[in-house]
A and B are shown apart, each in its own frame.
Chain A
Amino acid sequence: MSEPSLERNHALDCRLQKRLGEFDLDISLAVPASGVTALFGQSGSGKTSLLRLIAGLDRPDAGYVRLGERTLTDVAGRTQVPVHKRQLGIVFQEARLFPHYRVRGNLTYGMPPSARSRFDDLVTLLGIGHLLERLPGTLSGGEARRVAIGRALLTHPRLLLLDEPLTGLDGERKQELLRYLVRLTREIDIPVVYVSHDTAEIATIADHLALVEQGRLTAHGQLDELMMRLDLTDRLGGFDAATRLSAKVVDHDSVYSLTRVALDDGQTLRIPAVDQPPGTPVRLRVGVRDVALAHAMPEGTSYRNGITTTIEAIEASPQEPSANEVRLRFGEQRLRARLTRQACEEMQLTEGKTAVALIRSVAFDSRI
Chain B
Amino acid sequence: MFLEAIALSEAEWQAIILSLKIAGSAVGWILVPGIAVAWLLARHEFRGKALLDGLLHLPLVLPPVVVGYLLLLSLGRNGWLGQWLYQGFGFSLPFTWQGAAIAGGVMAFPLLVRAVRLSLEAVDPKLEAAAGTLGANRWRVLFTITLPLAVPGLLTGTVLAFARALSEFGATITFASNIPGETRTLPLALYTLIQTPGKEAAAARLCVLSIVIAMLSLMASEWLARRARQRLQERDR
Contact = CB atoms under 8 A, between A and B. Distances in A.
Interface of A: 55, 57, 82-90, 92, 94, 96, 98-100, 109-110, 112, 133-135, 137-138, 151-152, 155
Nearest to A89: B133
Nearest to B235: A138
Interface of B: 126-127, 129-137, 144-145, 148-149, 231-237
B235 to A, nearest CB: 6
B234 A135 contact: yes
B134 A99 contact: no
A83 B129 contact: yes
Contacts of A152: 133-134
A138 B236 contact: yes
A84 B136 contact: yes
Nearest to B228: A100
In the A-B complex, the 10 residue pairs with the smallest Cβ-Cβ separation, listed nearest first, are A110-B134, A96-B130, A83-B132, A90-B133, A110-B135, A84-B132, A138-B236, A84-B135, A135-B234, A100-B148
Contacts of B148: 100
A248 to B, nearest CB: 38
Contact of B133 (A83, A134, A135): A83
Contacts of A134: 236-237
Given A99-B232, A109-B144, A138-B237, 6 more contacts: A57-B133, A98-B131, A109-B134, A138-B234, A155-B134, A155-B135
A89 B132 CA distance: 11
Contacts of B131: 98, 109-110
Contacts of A100: 148-149, 231-232
Contacts of A86: 133
Contacts of A99: 149, 232-233
A194 B113 CA distance: 43
B234 A98 contact: no
A231 B148 CA distance: 54
A338 to B, nearest CB: 42
Contacts of A57: 129, 133
A92 B132 CA distance: 13
B145 A98 contact: yes
A42 to B, nearest CB: 23
